[in-house]
Structure 1
Amino acid sequence: MFEITDTQKIGVGLSAFGIFFIFLGVMLLLDRSLLALGNILFIAGLACVIGRERTFRFFFQRHKAKGSIAFFGGIFLVLIKWPLFGMIAETYGFILLFSGFFPVAINFLRRVPILGTLLSLPGIGSLIDWLETQPGQECEKL
């Protein structure tokens, strides 16, 4: 078993607050301030969880250039007051960057007692199976 450091615990909290502020920004009709704050907190949390060097290597790998450009371009668009286009670009970049982790996350969620039952329902189960078996989604090491 591995030990979680205090920095990693702080990183999880920062990432959770970042996702919360992004969600709140979208719910409040693409509030630019909340979206920008959420983006900053999410990236800072990711850097605390996996480390600055590994975060840098994750975003700036050659085969992830398209996803990184879309993700950071979306953040830039949010900051220059185009939140709708920025969130579309960020979502596209996020899917490209983190699609390799979707099968691992789905397998974990299927083992959670109540959530696993919900993910096994007929309509949701077929969608989850489709997401899990998309081509090009290899789980990569950071």
Structure 2
Amino acid sequence: MSDRKKIGLGLTGFGVFFSFLGIIFFLDKGLLAMGNILFISGVTLTIGLKSTMQFFMKRQNYKGTLSFFVGFFLVIIGWPIFGMILEAYGFIVLFSGFWPTLAVFIQRIPILGWLFQQPYIRSESDGHKNMRELVNIFTI
């Protein structure tokens, strides 16, 4: 793994952390904005600028991209509740194809893996093989 990708993963992690802190502190717009900026820059450094642009500009990702960036803009201008709702929807639509990969990765982490391999949680995750189907239910 190159240094650029390591820095990108770190920035992405800090972005998620700052977004989490922003939610914990009653939708603090400063922390949410910092989390968004760090997350976007981390993803860009991790997969590269060209791949990031191709990912966000795919035809099937237009709805998710638009709602994510409109939510990002709303958080920046000071409307964190509406912005986070739009961002969450956009995030789910954009990254729904990565959930199965993320589930396999989480199952290999020592403590979280044990938790996610419990019968109830495993049956729930196996019940939704493709998160796109679940997203399509809500976007009729």
Fold-level similarity (TM above 0.5):
yes
Question: Which residues in structure 2 correspond to 1:72-91 (within 5 Å)?
Answer: 72-91=69-88
Total equivalences in the alignment: 134
Structure 2 CA distance for partners of 1:135 and 1:22, relative to 1, 3 Å: closer
> Tell me, which stretches of 5 or more residues in structure 1 are unaligned?
138-142
Q: TM-score, normalised by structure 2?
A: 0.88
Q: How far apart in 2 are the matches of 1:112 and 1:61? A: 32
- Percent identity reads 51
Q: How far apart in 2 are the matches of 1:94 and 1:56? A: 16
Deviations 1:44-99 (CA, angstroms, capped at 9, x unpaired): 01110000111011111111000000100110111121101110110100000000
Q: Which sits farther off after the overlay, 62-71 or 112-121?
A: 112-121
Secondary structure of the residue aligned to 2:31 is: helix
> Tell me, which stretches of 5 or more residues in structure 2 are unaligned?
135-140
Structure 2 CA distance for partners of 1:135 and 1:91, relative to 1, 3 Å: closer
Q: Report the RMSD for the aligned CA atoms in angstroms.
A: 1.6
Tell me how far 1:111 sits from its aligned partner.
Answer: 2.9
Q: Which sits farther off after the overlay, 56-65 or 121-130?
A: 121-130
Q: TM-score, normalised by structure 1?
A: 0.87
Question: Which residues in structure 2 correspond to 1:1-142 (within 5 Å)?
Answer: 4-136=1-133
